[in-house]
Amino acid sequence: MLQVISLLLENKPGALMRVTGLLSARGYNIESLTVARTLDPELSKMTIVVQVDSSLRKQVIKQMNKLVNVLQATDLTEGSVVCRDMVLLRVRAAQENRTAILKEAEIFAARVIDSSVEGFALEATGDPEKLDEFIAVMRSYGDIEVTRSGALAMSLEQKKLRLAPPILRGEDAMLSETKNGVLNA
């Protein structure tokens, strides 16, 4: 089934590769992946939608949490979650369809970002299934070109609203674990 994973990770070269490598090493196909900086420019937030055997969902999250660059990996497949996708869509419109297209766009709360003799460029956000419908509707009017962002997800559960990442800072981590004498040196 499709698993939605939210990751907080260091904004460092190679961090993305470690996450995707972990999935590809297990033969999982990534359906979508979005990543961008957080309020803290040293960190990134990533949402991955991936096809994972449901018995292995926990294991995937645990393996991601093991990655040194990953601060927290969370499974957002179930529970109270908001999931949004964005689509940029160009539709070639015949003169007699223009009004109808604009009406449809309004129903999906899509915005017109460009209008030309050829047709329209539209932008819409919403949950992924809703956008599938939007695309299907627009296709019925003529040729279309589509670019989607992939899913962005966020938990709405109270306990998961965390302003600061729940992490051991380096010093605390060291206090419990000084095996190699870095601090003693």
Partner 1 sequence: MSTLMTGAQILLECLTREGVDCMFGYPGGVTLPFYDALYDHPIRHVLVRHEQNAAFAAEGYSRATGRVGVCCATSGPGATNLVTGLVDAMMDSIPIVAITGQVTSKLIGSDAFQEADTFGITRSCTKHNFLVKNISELSQIVHEAFYIASSGRPGPVLVDIPKDIFQGQAHYTPVSSIHLPGYKVYTEGHTGQIRRAAQMMWDARRPLVYAGGGIIASNCSEELQSLVEIIDAPAVCTLMGLGGLASSHPNFISMPGMHGSYAANMSLSNADLLIALGVRFDDRVTGRLAAFAPHAKVIHVDIDPAEIGKNRVADLPIVGDLKRVLSKLNAALVELQPDAAPINSTHRRAWWSQVREWKDEHPLTPAISTSEIKPQQVMVEIDRISGGQAIVASDVGQHQMWAAQFIKFDKPRLWINSGGLGSMGFGLPSAIGAQFACPSQLVFAIVGDGGFQMSIPELATIANQGLPVKIIVVNNGYLGMVRQWQELFYNNRLSSVELETFPNAEMLAGAYGFKGRTIQNPADLVPALREAVDEPGPYLLNIKVTPFENVYPMVPAGGAINEMVLGPPQPVAMPR
Residues lying near partner 1 in the complex (CB under 8 A): 9-10, 13-14, 17-18, 21, 25, 58-59, 62-63, 65-72, 165, 167-171, 173-174, 176-177, 179-183, 185
| Cβ distance to partner 1 smaller for residue 95 or 176 | 176
| Cβ distance to partner 1 smaller for residue 1 or 68 | 68
CB of 6 to partner 1, least distance (A): 14
CB of 1 to partner 1, least distance (A): 19
| Cβ distance to partner 1 smaller for residue 66 or 139 | 66
CB of 26 to partner 1, least distance (A): 11
- Give the tokens for residue 80: 């109270």
CB of 15 to partner 1, least distance (A): 9
